[in-house]
Amino acid sequence: MLCVGLDPEPSRFPTELHHHRHQDATEAFCRGIIQATAPHACAFKPQIAHFAALGAEAVLERLGQWVKTQYPEHLWILDAKRGDIGSTAQHYATEAFTRYNADAVTLSPYMGTDSLAPFLSHRDKGVFLLCRTSNPGGDDLQMQTLQSGERVFEYIARLAATRWNAADQIGLVVGATYPTEVQRVRAIAPELPLLIPGIGAQGGDLEATVSAAATPSGGMFINSSRAILYASATDDWQAAAATEAEKTRLAIADAYHVRSA
- Each of the 261 residues of the chain gets a pLDDT tens digit; together they read 999 999 999 999 999 998 888 899 999 999 999 999 999 999 999 999 999 999 999 999 999 999 999 999 999 999 999 999 989 999 999 999 999 999 999 999 999 999 999 999 999 999 999 999 989 999 999 999 999 999 999 999 999 999 999 999 999 999 988 999 999 999 999 999 999 998 765 566 888 889 889 887 778 999 999 999 999 999 999 999 999 999 999 999 998 876 544
Q: Where are the beta strands (DSSP E) in the chain?
A: 2-6, 43-46, 75-82, 104-107, 126-132, 170-174, 194-196, 220-224
pTM summary value: 0.94
Going from the C-alpha of 207 to that of each of 45, 151, 251, the distances in angstroms are: 22, 25, 8
Catalytic residues: 81
Contact present, 108 and 85 (Cβ < 8 Å): no
Per-residue confidence (pLDDT) for residue 259, from 0 to 100: 57
What is the number of other CB atoms lying within 10 angstroms of the CB of residue 38? Answer: 18
Per-domain residue ranges of the chain:
2-260
Handedness of CA 227, 5, 106, 208 (dihedral sign): negative
Long-range contacts of 138-146 (CB under 8 A, 24+ apart): 138/175
Instruction: Please give the DSSP secondary-structure letter assigned to residue 61.
Output: H
Give the pLDDT score at 205. Answer: 82
| Rounded Cα distance, 71 and 88, in Å | 31
pLDDT at 47 (0 to 100):
98
Question: Taking the domain 2-260, which CATH number applies?
Answer: 3.20.20.70
